[in-house]
């Protein structure tokens, strides 16, 4: 082979005896596939011996060692928008750039971006939600530092900034029971293992009613939302809250609604008001997150404070500590933020029939 010819993947494949697909996956650093140590060693030694240089390394890219990737399900919900901007603020203070990638909770989108990360020169990755591909995230973390903001989950072996969502559900349930509410509805978008924070909030509400108000009940109303719906319908959370609440208003036992987040709670509020009912005189409404619109008048939303800005900045600080060598790559950092209930005008004592 001429010394002036560029070495290709086909050359490495022919010389090493492995298929072009195997050679490509090993040399690109794909994290979702596995090969024996001997296979990886032989392919890399062959590539080095032939002088193979990946074409992508020669192209200018924003994926560089000063760039942090922020992964989030969407940017419409003020919770995620606030997280993203707080991370960007912290990054700017350290002269780092950021990129934002939205998955719309599509597992394939998540795998796609994680594979791109594994073969890149990115400084690090921050997930603003619990990832669905936890095993892949842990493998990527060995190549590129990862920090996850999400529900408390000690089984995920990467750095995490956590919130105990079960406890958040307990706080709301105890507050409503203390006001005298005995029958509540829990209104949510998709409830499954891939959305653990939502499930944990529900479990907190249910467990508290079972233990402290056994004569009460928790009616669960949820609707599955596909990634396509989340991407194409910018008002999907409001719509779910609105539609599910209308279906509950015929049950006269219910005196309070607990929405899985503030965006769904806005739909709950609108459905109640559209039916000619009053808040909080006829129904109390609670949410989670305390996003900015929840404090607006004339009707502020009772909700759980999740310290969104602090979580975003802290996640970047954890990542930067590893990038700068201030923290050991051998240790896992777990930070848990304490939450509290913010009581506003959307809650009160139950109506008297």
Going by their DSSP bridges, the two strands 183-188 and 217-222 should be labelled as parallel
pLDDT at 138 over 70: yes
Mean pLDDT of the chain, nearest integer: 90
DSSP 47-68: HHHHT---GGGGS--S-STTEE
- For residue 212, how many C-alpha atoms fall within 13 Å in the half-sphere facing its CB? 17
CA distance 331 to 189: 35
Gap between the Cα atoms of 209 and 222, Å rounded: 19
Q: Quote the CA–CA distance of 148 and 136 in Å, as a whole number.
A: 13
9-58 against 67-163+308-337: fold identical: no
Domain ranges of the chain: 9-58, 67-163+308-337, 165-305
pLDDT given at position 259:
98
Q: For residue 340, what pLDDT is reported?
A: 94
Q: For domain 9-58, give the fold.
A: 434 Repressor (Amino-terminal Domain) (1.10.260)
User: Comparing 36 with 307, which gets the higher pLDDT?
Assistant: 307
pTM of the model: 0.81
What does CATH list as the number for 67-163+308-337? 3.40.50.2300
> What integer is the mean pLDDT of 133-139?
90
62-85, pLDDT tens digit by residue?
Answer: 455 689 999 999 999 999 999 999
Residue 286 forms beta bridges with which residues?
258, 302
Provide CATH code, domain 165-305.
3.40.50.2300
């Amino acid at each position: 082979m001429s010394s002036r010819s560029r070495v290709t993947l086909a050359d490495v494949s022919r010389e090493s005896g492995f298929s072009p697909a195997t050679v490509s996956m090993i040399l690109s650093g794909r994290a979702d596939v596995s090969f024996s140590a001997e296979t990886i060693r032989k392919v890399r030694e062959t590539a080095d011996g032939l002088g193979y240089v990946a074409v992508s390394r020669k192209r200018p890219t924003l994926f560089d060692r000063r760039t942090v990737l922020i992964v989030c399900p969407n940017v419409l919900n003020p919770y995620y928008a606030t997280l993203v901007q707080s991370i960007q603020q912290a990054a700017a203070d350290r002269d780092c750039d950021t990129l934002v990638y939205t998955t719309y909770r599509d597992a394939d989108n998540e795998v796609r971006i994680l594979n791109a990360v594994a073969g890149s020169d990115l400084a690090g990755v921050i997930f603003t939600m619990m990832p669905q591909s936890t095993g892949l995230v842990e493998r990527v973390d060995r190549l590129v530092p990862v920090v996850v903001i999400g529900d408390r989950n000690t089984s995920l072996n990467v750095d995490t900034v956590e919130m105990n969502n079960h406890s958040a559900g307990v706080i709301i349930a105890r507050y409503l029971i203390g006001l005298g509410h005995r029958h509540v509805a829990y209104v949510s978008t998709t409830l499954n293992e891939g959305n653990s924070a939502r499930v944990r909030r529900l479990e907190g509400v249910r467990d508290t009613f079972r233990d402290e108000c056994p004569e009460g009940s928790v009616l669960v109303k949820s609707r599955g939302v596909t990634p396509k719906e989340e991407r194409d319908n910018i008002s999907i959370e409001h719509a779910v809250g609105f539609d599910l609440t209308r279906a509950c208003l015929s049950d006269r036992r219910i005196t309070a609604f607990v929405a899985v987040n503030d965006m769904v709670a806005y739909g709950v509020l609108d459905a109640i008001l559209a039916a000619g009912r009053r808040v909080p005189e006829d129904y109390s409404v609670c949410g989670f997150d305390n996003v900015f619109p929840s404090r607006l008048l004339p009707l502020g939303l009772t909700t759980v404070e999740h310290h969104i800005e602090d979580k975003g900045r802290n996640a970047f600080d954890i990542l930067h500590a590893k990038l700068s060598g201030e923290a050991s790559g051998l240790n896992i950092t777990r930070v848990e933020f304490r939450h509290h209930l913010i009581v506003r005008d959307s809650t009160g004592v139950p109506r008297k029939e």
